[in-house]
Structure 1
Amino acid sequence: MKKKIKYRVRDFLRCIFSPLGYTWGRFIVTHKYIPNFKSPKSFSEKLIYRKFNVDPKLLSILVDKYTVRRYVKEKIGDEYLIPLYLVTEYINISDFEKLPSEFVIKTSNGGGGENVKLIENKNTIDLNHLSETFNQYLTIKAGHGVDEHFYDIEKPQVIIEKLMRHKDGSFPSDYKIHVFNKKNETKIIIQIDEDRFGNHKRSLFDINKQKLNFDIQPKYESVKSDYDWPNNFDEMIYVAKKLSEDFKYVRVDLYNIDGSIYFGELTFCHGSGWEPLSSKETDFLLGSYWEEFE
């Protein structure tokens, strides 16, 4: 209910002030400085600029969670793709009969994690309600309200894939690898989101696995400095670089399951531009890594 109210207020303000006017005001409230959207310099300014100025068709197949699988297969091979159980334009309760007890259900056009649900035992779930909920999600223009219109181009579908766990049954950390491809070098910042469905922790690290002294959305508990990195860390970086090589900036999300690397998604507008950094100075530092739009 609270989310519905929040979205209604957002949509009302966007109608009154226009999407760009609303964004300008929200930017000041969120990031605590006046933005320059005509000649963006900071990381957050460039995220917003990308939303309003880049042709959505250029990114649509890359943000759709089903169509992007072909891109990943061509770039690095299908061994990095999470096993897929079902893809459908309309989910029926009978579709669950042949599925294993646990799985992940999501929509191909979802953003921000709201259209994703982890099912650990389908026998304890109201599958009729689950079907109705996800069929309803398919009717929603996910990108419209946040000005990420690339989410609204491909045909939305329900995807059901394997629920990935470590051998001990625990869920993996999210490795969100921010890749900035500059003219003469590549800058990488590794965002680790640990225990997302419990005590969510987040920290940023550099390519040398050293924790940085700033954060994105610094409301979470910090990941420990001596984090237990996977042995094939270098392969993860290779995968991130390969998937990002066509862009000036993109966030490549990966999982590492007992040494096996799996692709999560490509994100072109991290947090839709609404996750503040620790300071304005940090925002402009990351913006200097992103050589585009100026």
Structure 2
Amino acid sequence: MGIKKVMQVAKRFCTNKEIRFSYLSKLGFYNGKSDEEYLGRLFEYSLGYKLNLSDPKTFNEKNQWLKIYGFKDEYVKLADKYLVKDIVGRAIGYEHVIKTIDTWDTAADIDFDKLPQKFVLKCNHTSSTGVIICKDKEKLDQAATIREMNKAMHTDYSYYRREHVYSKINRKIFAEEFIEDPSGRDINDYKVFVFNGRATYIQVDYDRFTDHHRNFYDREWNYVPFTTCYPTDPEHQIEKPSQLDELLGLAEKLADQTVKGIPFVRMDFYIVGTRILFGEITFYHGAGIERFYPAEYDRKLGDMIKL
């Protein structure tokens, strides 16, 4: 890194509280802080208003409250991306579960020779990190893959956003079947927002690797004019899934069978051809620090969470 770049980074570190806090927290500088104090600072730096845990009103405030005061030990297996598969299979049917190929305790144990040409590698305790999508094993840099998975295995994903459900997971690496749409198109990820047992909104992300956008729809597949984190586009028509009723029903059934009575949970699925496949259970959407656009939807969705 050149001296000019170093100076630019140093200036941002010194003048931007959010960047400084993020950097120091990832180094473990604030590990001794209580959840209330730490999340209060993270929340204000991320969203621009103070966190009120004594009388939370907004969606993001209530997600922070649920992190600190709503945690239950049974959530750990549900957040474990490997163990949850059997729970989901028993709850809604194994036909909705993506096949696991193999598991390992360390990155060094990965046996690439036994893997098919296409597969996905994941860590069971992370979210967006620790994921390798392999479409052609012959082109895969195995050494780089091992380094990346090893780094993910040694990262406590819970610290930065205090999502303690991830810190209690017994870490593993697993390979699962590579899922692709018969049409060759990217597979849409349908994230179903379940409030007090009722599936209410569906988030669909698209163009994730080029120009990430996010649209929200209600139960009847009407476009809803808000988003979090990424831009939304009402002119971008996402076709109503023919399995929409089944998707909503599966989300509600899975919530009832696994986290009955929870004020809010997100059930993520893929639709591949005629198949609905489970993705993951997310307890705290965006870790409760994603801005809403327009801002009033932070409160509107917050009103739907009954603590």
TM-score, normalised with respect to structure 2: 0.85
Deviation at 1:204, TM superposition (A): 0.8
User: Does 2:238 correspond to 1:227?
Assistant: yes
The one of 68, 73, 84 equivalent to 2:100 is: 84
Do the aligned partners of 1:93 and 1:128 also contact (CA within 8 Å) in 2? no
SS in 2 for 1:14: coil
User: Does 2:119 correspond to 1:103?
Assistant: yes
User: Does 2:209 correspond to 1:200?
Assistant: no
Do the aligned partners of 2:194 and 2:264 also contact (CA within 8 Å) in 1? yes
Instruction: Give the aligned residue type for 2:246.
Output: E
Deviation at 1:72, TM superposition (A): 0.4
Distance in 2, Cα, partners of 1:225 & 1:132 = 39
SS in 1 for 2:107: coil
Do the aligned partners of 1:164 and 1:171 also contact (CA within 8 Å) in 2? no
Do the aligned partners of 1:202 and 1:223 also contact (CA within 8 Å) in 2? no
Do the aligned partners of 1:85 and 1:161 also contact (CA within 8 Å) in 2? yes
Deviation at 1:16, TM superposition (A): 8.3
Do the aligned partners of 2:199 and 2:251 also contact (CA within 8 Å) in 1? no
Deviation at 1:220, TM superposition (A): 2.4
- Counterparts of 1:114-153 in structure 2, within 5 Å, are 114-153=129-168
The one of 163, 172, 180 equivalent to 2:187 is: 172
Distance in 1, Cα, partners of 2:110 & 2:51 = 51
Distance in 1, Cα, partners of 2:147 & 2:180 = 27
SS in 2 for 1:228: coil
User: Does 2:279 correspond to 1:267?
Assistant: no
- Counterparts of 1:10-25 in structure 2, within 5 Å, are 10-11=25-26, 14=30, 19-25=35-41
Deviation at 1:257, TM superposition (A): 0.3
The one of 238, 241, 244 equivalent to 2:249 is: 238
Describe the shift of the 1:16–1:155 C-alpha distance in structure 2 as closer, same or farther (beyond 3 A): closer
Distance in 2, Cα, partners of 1:114 & 1:51 = 20
Distance in 2, Cα, partners of 1:168 & 1:193 = 18
Q: Which runs of 5+ in 1 are unaligned?
A: none
In the alignment, which residue of structure 1 is the partner of 2:5?
Answer: none
SS in 1 for 2:224: coil
Q: Which runs of 5+ in 2 are unaligned?
A: 2-8, 10-18
Aligned pair count? 286
Instruction: Give the aligned residue type for 2:160.
Output: G
The one of 77, 80, 97 equivalent to 1:61 is: 77
Deviation at 1:56, TM superposition (A): 5.0
Distance in 2, Cα, partners of 1:127 & 1:268 = 33
Deviation at 1:36, TM superposition (A): 1.0
Describe the shift of the 1:116–1:56 C-alpha distance in structure 2 as closer, same or farther (beyond 3 A): farther
| RMSD of aligned Cα (Å) | 2.4
Residues 163-220 of structure 1 show CA distances to partners (whole Å, capped at 9, x for unaligned) of: 21111222201101101026xxx35111011132233221111111011121122x32
Instruction: Give the aligned residue type for 1:63.
Output: A
- Percent sequence identity is 28
In the alignment, which residue of structure 2 is the partner of 1:254?
Answer: 269
The one of 282, 286, 290 equivalent to 2:301 is: 286
TM-score, normalised with respect to structure 1: 0.89
Deviation at 1:282, TM superposition (A): 1.3
Distance in 1, Cα, partners of 2:124 & 2:56 = 30
Deviation at 1:17, TM superposition (A): 6.2
Instruction: Give the aligned residue type for 2:63.
Output: L
Describe the shift of the 1:129–1:56 C-alpha distance in structure 2 as closer, same or farther (beyond 3 A): farther
SS in 2 for 1:87: strand
Instruction: Give the aligned residue type for 1:201.
Output: H
Do the aligned partners of 1:31 and 1:280 also contact (CA within 8 Å) in 2? no
Distance in 1, Cα, partners of 2:276 & 2:265 = 18
Distance in 1, Cα, partners of 2:30 & 2:268 = 30
SS in 2 for 1:141: coil
Distance in 2, Cα, partners of 1:152 & 1:34 = 26
In the alignment, which residue of structure 2 is the partner of 1:211?
Answer: 223
Deviation at 1:128, TM superposition (A): 2.3
